[in-house]
Amino acid sequence: MSTITIVGAGMMGSAMSVPARANRHTVRIVGTPLDREIIEHARATGEHLTLKRRLPDEISYYQIEELDSALAGADLLVCGVSSFGLDWFIENIIPKIPESLPVLSVTKGMMNIGEGRLISYPEVFEASTKKKISFNAIGGPCTSYELADRDPTVVTFCGRDISTLRWIKSLFETDFYHISLSTDVRGVECAVALKNAYALGVCLAIGLSYRRQGREFEHYNSQAALFGQSVREMSRLLDLCGGRPDNIMLGAGDLYVTVFGGRTRKIGILLGSGLPFDEAMKKLAGITLESVVIARRTTTAVRELIAAGRAAESDFPLILHVDAIIRCGEPVNIPWRAFETETII
Amino acid sequence: MSTITIVGAGMMGSAMSVPARANRHTVRIVGTPLDREIIEHARATGEHLTLKRRLPDEISYYQIEELDSALAGADLLVCGVSSFGLDWFIENIIPKIPESLPVLSVTKGMMNIGEGRLISYPEVFEASTKKKISFNAIGGPCTSYELADRDPTVVTFCGRDISTLRWIKSLFETDFYHISLSTDVRGVECAVALKNAYALGVCLAIGLSYRRQGREFEHYNSQAALFGQSVREMSRLLDLCGGRPDNIMLGAGDLYVTVFGGRTRKIGILLGSGLPFDEAMKKLAGITLESVVIARRTTTAVRELIAAGRAAESDFPLILHVDAIIRCGEPVNIPWRAFETETII
């Protein structure tokens, strides 16, 4: 049995304790400074405050001041912070990680480093330190609630070294949590990086349909058209990032679960229903903030790619419209004609 | 204004009258021998019996004996038959089509012609006649109900000649029916050929979730995992058929709309809930028959591809499981482990 230390007691990080405990590993969960209540509550009751589920038995909980004890003797560190916590993790946790301790990150997304260059979060971690730490990450469809409920899913762990990946897989593989492996880190991360922004785009169609015909009519043609366009644009981004094209199946699966997964869906429907962005955000009282931030970060990169002449506006009509809605408060007006293509072989 | 004759008064063929009439073309709908009641009812009431909607005004309706008058002076023939009607269309209609009359087919699917060779329906039509008729077809997400309701969608017309395609597009393009064009006929048709079989596969997860936790729990992780696996297998088939890889966005969009579109969803959920195939079919009183036939026809081709050594069983674990359920009455037991891959770059 191994010892797995999860830093970040958010929903996804904490849910990783479920397959880990199913395999009887020792699990330690460390809260960030924002997770104090979650840790206190879990210690007192065994329940996770925001996941609203009982966590597996025999987990040890730590406040951030107890990080050193939580790291002592750990075999794997799971980075469970959200995109917001990325800088915090880099500044406060990475300096404390010994080179012998591999990291598996649940955080999805890419970082624009200017001039249209996009790098994955594992690459961001690598660039942040001189230490030779093995940074790995998870792509593919998996919501924390359903992982906690042991609903079957298939995810992909990516990293540079296949032996390390195989070992990490051996810690988490169960009959409900299935794991593919890939050393194409850029490809995996890039394929799923824009899923929040595109899920928001697909859900605009639901809101538009409600606006036109009432809530009982959830038409699917227009959602499917936006889903197909999303797959096209995600494939294009994958190509621009140099990822293998077959990673698009991860992007499609991750997009699917995000369309139905909750927070991003809510804001997409509100925007499609006719609410301006500011009002939609107020109505949701900030709960979608992360997905919007991820959308902004990645659309910024797409805009830079276009500015650098490495992509054309016509490659990304949907994401640019989502960006205009989020960034400039523009009204929803799906650019259907821009989705039409002509292919001559 | 042009004259468009639709042969086959089923839901999809008839729904094509909506964009055609929106552009003020003359529309004639000809029923097959199975459509007698639909034609009589539409003549008497202006409503479509199975689409359950009023069709546009000023459509002329014809019984099959009146085919010649319906063809006289037509500029485009829409083949509106289902997969069941394919042979009927080849034997009874193609011999009457002059070479000057282009055909646009709504029927999706591919035909296995033995030894693992797959050809698209337009190619089947071409092979059936010595005449040089322009056979074109429609791919991409579009349900008949929602087309009739003028919900926006984006489809792809495919055919060998781009000028003919552009002209056909000019007949149907409206602000709710958007049309991409492609001369990659094999690629377009192949990308969407297996969508019924895969939609059934994705919906198994919904039934499994109902069985485990009751109808209020429609978990999405497992649906998304099956959706991603479907995209992977559809991409593989596309590659085997020599279609361009970017057609996968059509397959993904078409799969999305089929998962939510009705009949295939129903049988997938029943099977996932634990009913054996025969009982599920009885419960639905035959309404899903077409999707099952398409699934059988295309999975037969996949089995032949494997037998011919052109593909491996491990390329198609999901569709082979769907096939075993449909063909052999096997119980649902998703082969999750078979979906796991290892990618080393």
Contacts of A108 in chain B (CB under 8 A): none
Residues of chain B positioned with their CB less than 8 A from the CB of A149: 213, 219
Q: Which two tokens stand for residue B22?
A: 């929106």
Tell me: pLDDT of A294 over 80. Answer: no
In a domain, B219, yes or no: yes
Q: Calculate the alpha carbon distances from B235 to A180, A298, B77, B162, B231 in Å.
A: 18, 26, 31, 25, 6
Query: Measured between CB atoms, which of B140, B220, B340 is closest to A146?
Result: B220
Predicted pLDDT at B134: 98
Nearest to A151 among B140, B221, B235 (CB): B221
Tell me: do B230 and B331 sit in the same domain.
Answer: yes
Question: B287: which 2 tokens?
Answer: 């309404």
Tell me, yes or no, whether B169 and B220 share the same domain: no
Sign of the Cα pseudo-torsion (B21, B22, B23, B24, in order): positive
Contact call for B227 and A253, based on CB within 8 A? yes
Give tens-digit pLDDT for A186-206.
Answer: 999 888 887 888 999 999 999
The pLDDT confidence band at residue B119, using thresholds 50, 70 and 90, is: confident
Q: Are B32 and B9 in contact (CB under 8 A)?
A: yes
Q: What is the pLDDT of residues B34-68, one digit of tens each?
A: 999 999 999 999 999 999 999 999 999 999 999 99
Helix (H) or strand (E) holding A154: strand A153-158
Whole-angstrom Cα distance, residue A226 to residue A325?
16
Nearest CB partner across the interface for B249, out of A182, A187, A228: A228
pLDDT of residue B216: 67
A174-178 average pLDDT score: 97
Residue ending a domain, choose from B168, B188, B208? B188
Tell me the shortest Cα–Cα distance from A93 to chain B, in angstroms.
29
Closest partner residue to B253 (CB to CB) among A225, A235, A248 is: A225
Whole-angstrom distance, CA of residue B1 vs CA of residue A200: 40
Is 80 exceeded by the pLDDT of residue A214?
A: no
Band (pLDDT 50/70/90 cuts) for residue A174 is very high
Lowest mean pLDDT across A133-147, B120-134, B277-291: B277-291
Q: Find residue A30's DSSP bridge partners.
A: A7, A62
The count of CB pairs under 8 A between chains A and B is: 211
Residue B204 and residue B161 share a domain? no
Same domain, A140 and A216: no
Give the pairing type, strands A53-54 and B76-79.
Answer: unpaired
Contact yes or no for B256 and A227 at CB 8 A = yes
d(CA A220, CA B141): 9
- Same-domain check for residues A151 and A211: no
Residue-averaged pLDDT of chain B? 92
Please name the residue of chain B whose CA is at the shortest distance from the CA of residue A161: B344
Using 50, 70 and 90 to split pLDDT, how confident is the model at B113?
Answer: confident
Same domain, A214 and A121: no
Which of B181, B235, B341 has its CB closest to that of A343? B181
**Would residue A345 count as lying in a domain?**
no
Smallest Cβ–Cβ distance between B181 and the set A140, A260, A342 belongs to: A342
Write the residue in A140, A257, A340 that is nearest to B179 by C-beta.
Answer: A340
Q: Supply A341's token pair.
A: 């293509």
In a domain, B274, yes or no: yes
Q: Distance (Å) from the C-alpha of residue A207 to the closest C-alpha of chain B?
A: 13
CB A299 within 8 A of CB A286: no
Comparing alpha-carbon positions, the chain A residue that sits nearest to B249 is: A228
Residue B198 and residue A118 in contact, taking contact as beta carbons nearer than 8 Å: no
Cβ distance of A221 and B256 shorter than 8 Å: no
State whether A252 and B221 contact (CB < 8 Å): no
Contact call for A181 and B235, based on CB within 8 A: no
Query: Which chain B positions have a beta carbon within 8 Å of A183's beta carbon?
Result: 343-345
Pick from A127-136, A169-178, B118-127: least confident: B118-127
Q: Looking at the structure, do residues A207 and A250 belong to the same domain, yes or no? A: yes
**Shared-domain flag, residues A212 and A156:** no
Of A152, A181, A205, the CB nearest to B225: A152
Within 8 A of A213 by CB-CB distance, chain B residues are 149
CA distance A79 to A66: 16
Q: Quick one: which H or E segment has residue B6?
A: strand B3-7
Distance from CA of B142 to the nearest CA of A (A): 5
Contacts of B112 (CB under 8 A, 6+ apart): B118, B297, B298, B300, B301, B304
- DSSP state letters, A76-126: EEEE---GGGHHHHHHHTGGG--TTS-EEE----EEE-STT-EEEHHHHHH
Share of chain A above pLDDT 90, in %: 70
For B196-247, write each residue's pLDDT tens digit.
889 999 999 999 988 887 776 778 999 999 999 999 999 998 898 889 999 9
C-alpha span between A20 and A73 (Å, rounded) = 16
Query: Any idea what DSSP says for residue B332?
Result: P
Given A173, A188, A203, the domain boundary residue is A188
| Residue A229 banded pLDDT, cuts 50, 70, 90 | very high
Q: Tell me what pLDDT residue A325 has.
A: 92
pLDDT digits (tens, 9 = 90+) for A242-255: 899 999 999 999 99
Q: Is the domain of A42 the same as that of A172?
A: yes
Residue B145 has pLDDT above 60, yes or no: yes
CB contact under 8 A, A141 and B224: yes
By percentage, how much of chain B surpasses pLDDT 70?
98
* Contact: B228, A250; criterion CB under 8 Å: yes
Looking at CA atoms only, how far is residue A11 from chain B in angstroms?
15
Mean pLDDT, range B60-79, rounded to an integer: 98
Can you give the pLDDT at residue A75? 98
Which one-letter amino acid corresponds to residue B194?
L
- The arithmetic mean of pLDDT across residues B77-98, rounded, is 94
CB distance A228–B162 less than 8 Å? no
CB nearest B340 (choices: A180, A183, A261): A180
Question: Would A276 be classed as within a structural domain?
Answer: yes
Task: Report the Cα B28 to chain-centroid distance in Å.
Answer: 22
* pLDDT score of A196: 83
- State CA A41 to chain mean position distance: 25
pLDDT of residue A264: 84
Please give the average per-residue pLDDT across B90-96, as a whole number. 97
CA distance B60 to B208: 47
Q: Which domain holds residue B228?
A: 194-339
Which residues on chain A are in Cβ contact (under 8 Å) with B149?
213, 219
Contact check, Cβ <8 Å, A224/B257? yes
pLDDT tens per residue, range A62-99: 999 999 999 999 999 999 998 889 999 999 999 999 99
Q: Which residues of B touch A152 (CB under 8 A)?
A: 205, 221-222, 225, 334, 336
Q: Into how many domains does chain A fold?
A: 2
Name which of A186, A249, A340 to mutate to probe chain B: the one with the most chain B Cβ atoms within 10 A of its Cβ. Answer: A249
Instruction: Answer whether residue A277 is part of any domain.
Output: yes
Q: What is the pLDDT of residues A2-15, one digit of tens each?
A: 999 999 999 999 99
pLDDT over threshold 90, residue A19: yes
Write the CATH number for A118.
3.40.50.720
The CATH number linked to B276 is 1.10.1040.10
- Which residues in chain A are closer than 8 Å to B245, comparing Cβ atoms? 245
Which class for A91: exposed (0-12), middle (13-18), buried (19 or more C-beta within 10 A)?
exposed
Contact B153 A249 (CB under 8 A): no
Q: Is residue B260 part of a domain?
A: yes
Nearest by CB to residue A249, choosing from B154, B223, B231, is B231
Closest CA in chain B for residue A244:
B345
Residues B46 and B80 in one domain: yes
**Sequence-distant (≥ 6) Cβ neighbours of residue A193 within 8 angstroms:** A108, A109, A110, A118, A120, A237, A294, A298
Contact B100, B137 (CB under 8 A): no
Is residue B288's pLDDT more than 60?
Answer: no
Closest partner CB to A225 (pick from B154, B205, B213): B154
Where a domain ends, among A124, A158, A188? A188
Q: Are residues A50 and A138 in the same domain?
A: yes
Same domain, B210 and B79: no
Specify which residues B4 forms β-bridges with.
B27, B76
Q: Which of A5, A1, A34 is nearest to A98 (CA)?
A: A5
Instruction: Answer whether residue B127 shows pLDDT above 60.
Output: yes
Residue A288 pLDDT > 60, yes or no? no
Does residue A137 belong to any structural domain of this protein? yes
Give chain B positions within 8 Å (CB) of A220: 141, 143, 146, 256-257, 260-261
Residues of B in contact with A175 (CB under 8 A): 336
Does residue B244 lie in a domain region? Answer: yes
Give the ipTM of the model, two decimals please.
0.94
Contact between B119 and B111 (Cβ < 8 Å): yes
Inform me whether the pLDDT recorded for B249 exceeds 90: yes
> CB distance A339–B162 less than 8 Å?
no
Closest-CA distance, A128 to chain B, in angstroms, reads: 24
Which residues are CB-contacts of B172 (< 8 A; sequence separation ≥ 6)? B16, B19, B20, B23, B179
Task: Report the candidate in B164, B169, B94, B84 with the shortest Cα–Cα distance to residue B126.
Answer: B94
Instruction: Answer yes or no: do A225 and B152 touch at CB < 8 A.
Output: yes
Determine the distance in angstroms separating the CA of B67 from the nearest CA of chain A, rounded to an integer: 32
What local confidence, expressed as pLDDT, does residue A289 receive? 67
CA distance B204 to chain A (A): 12
pLDDT digits (tens, 9 = 90+) for A23-66: 999 999 999 999 999 999 999 999 999 999 999 999 999 999 99
